[in-house]
Amino acid sequence: MKPFRVLFIALAFAGLAVPIQAKDMVVKEPPESLSKYYPPQSKQPKWIQQMHKMSTHFGGVFVNLKEKDFENVDKHANKLVEEYKKTSEMVPEWEDYFDVKAAEEFAAAAKTHDIAKAGKASGGLGRTCGKCHAENEVSVWAKFHWPSFHKIKVTDPISEKEIEFDEYMGSISSSFKGVTVNFSEGQYGRAAKALKIFKSRFMELKSTCSKCHAMQDVKRFYVGSDADTAFAGMSRELNADKPNPGKFWKNIGLLGKTGCKHCHLVHRTNSFIQEMWEKPE
């Protein structure tokens, strides 16, 4: 019987943690009323904190049922209902996602101190969470947990003019091509001049990263020692009397695999979503 109970508890947790799966996902911009639960309107990200509170009380019921600490089971069950009700009133547009009766039924089942009954009653409650997560979690994270790329302005180190981030990425790409195309054609002097411009623009990204990232180590993950090594290597080849193409391209690869790829893998998906909301149609 014991292994089944454990499995049951695991499934009950999974019901809350995993959203209802859907192959077609619509990423809809969250309602404006949610903004008051995130900085700057709020001191803390209150909405996600509220999610954590409910999740903790839900988990607290099962942890204590397993430990047969029934006093704490009751406390968590009561608190869960209290927080669930509170959450249901926070964003009027999302009121329908909540089923307070399901939360109360779960609490009542938990208070019988029968783990099987609690597990069974958790399904209805878990589905309300899962439905909202499936439909809104991605957009809430995209809007409130990720600063917007499209509002970032970058000072182009070459022109010293402030330009939009997207435009800046275009200028990096162009200067990169200035290096690779000239090198491929054996125009090493031109490639060296283009490299100075490309390096300057690439390194400017450290300042761009710092607009959001406060920690040096995070910035260095994108523009760090690999970039320094790659640029030093390319520069060495272009300053040599006979540049070694193998070494040159190896460094281009290093820069691409670390700097470009790291950033694009982490940030681009979210940036695409924000772009849909922020760019005029």
Partner 1 sequence: MKQSSRIFDLLVGLGLLGISGLGLLYFLINERFEWIPEFALELARDPQILKRPKAEKCSECHKNIFEAWKESRHSISWTSETFIEASENRSKEKCLPCHIPQSVQGEKPEPRMDLRDEGIYCVSCHFIDNKMNGPYDLLAPPHPTYRNPDYVRSGFCGSCHQKTFKEWKATKVEDTCQDCHMPRKKGRLTQKKGLNLLHKKRWVGDHRFLHGKITEKDVILETGWEEKFFSLSLKNNTIPHFVPTADNGDPRLYLYIQFFNDEEEEVDSAKEIIAPQQETALPYNKKINFRYRLFDPVSKAVVELKYQPAWSKDKQPVFSKAVTR
- Quick check: 132 and 103 in contact, CB under 8 A? no
Closest approach, Cβ 155 to partner 1, in A, equals 8
Nearer to partner 1, 9 or 191 (CB): 191
Rule CB under 8 A: is residue 257 a binding residue for partner 1? no
Binding test (CB under 8 A) with partner 1, winner from 127, 196, 250, 262: 196
Closest approach, Cβ 39 to partner 1, in A, equals 5
Nearest 5°: phi and psi at 210?
Answer: -70, -10
Nearer to partner 1, 67 or 162 (CB): 162
- Quick check: 237 and 278 in contact, CB under 8 A? no
Nearer to partner 1, 102 or 238 (CB): 238
Task: Draw the binding track, 60-99, toward partner 1 (x: CB under 8 A; -: no contact).
Answer: ----------------------------------------
Nearest 5°: phi and psi at 71?
Answer: -65, -45
Concatenated DSSP letters for 52-96?
HHHHHHHHHHHHHHHHT-HHHHHHHHHHHHHHHHHHHTT-GGGGG
Q: Pick the piece of the chain touching partner 1 (CB under 8 A) from 10-18, 106-114, 128-136, 145-153.
A: 145-153
Task: Draw the binding track, 170-189, toward partner 1 (x: CB under 8 A; -: no contact).
Answer: -------------------x
Nearer to partner 1, 17 or 203 (CB): 203
Rule CB under 8 A: is residue 3 a binding residue for partner 1? no
DSSP summary character for residue 186 = T
70 CB burial (10 A radius; 0-12, 13-18, 19+): middle
Closest approach, Cβ 266 to partner 1, in A, equals 17
Rule CB under 8 A: is residue 204 a binding residue for partner 1? yes
Rule CB under 8 A: is residue 59 a binding residue for partner 1? no
Supply 223's token pair. 């523009």
Closest approach, Cβ 195 to partner 1, in A, equals 11
Rule CB under 8 A: is residue 214 a binding residue for partner 1? yes
Cis peptide upstream of residue 40 (ω within 30 degrees of 0): yes
Rule CB under 8 A: is residue 49 a binding residue for partner 1? no
Q: Is the dihedral of CA 194, 198, 199, 204 positive or negative?
A: positive
In angstroms, the CA 102 to CA 96 distance is 13
Three-state SS at 263? helix
- Quick check: 89 and 67 in contact, CB under 8 A? no
Rule CB under 8 A: is residue 148 a binding residue for partner 1? yes
Alpha helices in 144-224 (DSSP H): 165-184, 188-209, 216-222
Nearer to partner 1, 109 or 227 (CB): 227
Residues that bind partner 1 (CB under 8 A): 39-40, 43, 45, 147-148, 151-153, 157-158, 160, 162, 189, 192-193, 196, 200, 203-204, 206-207, 209-212, 214, 216, 219, 238-239
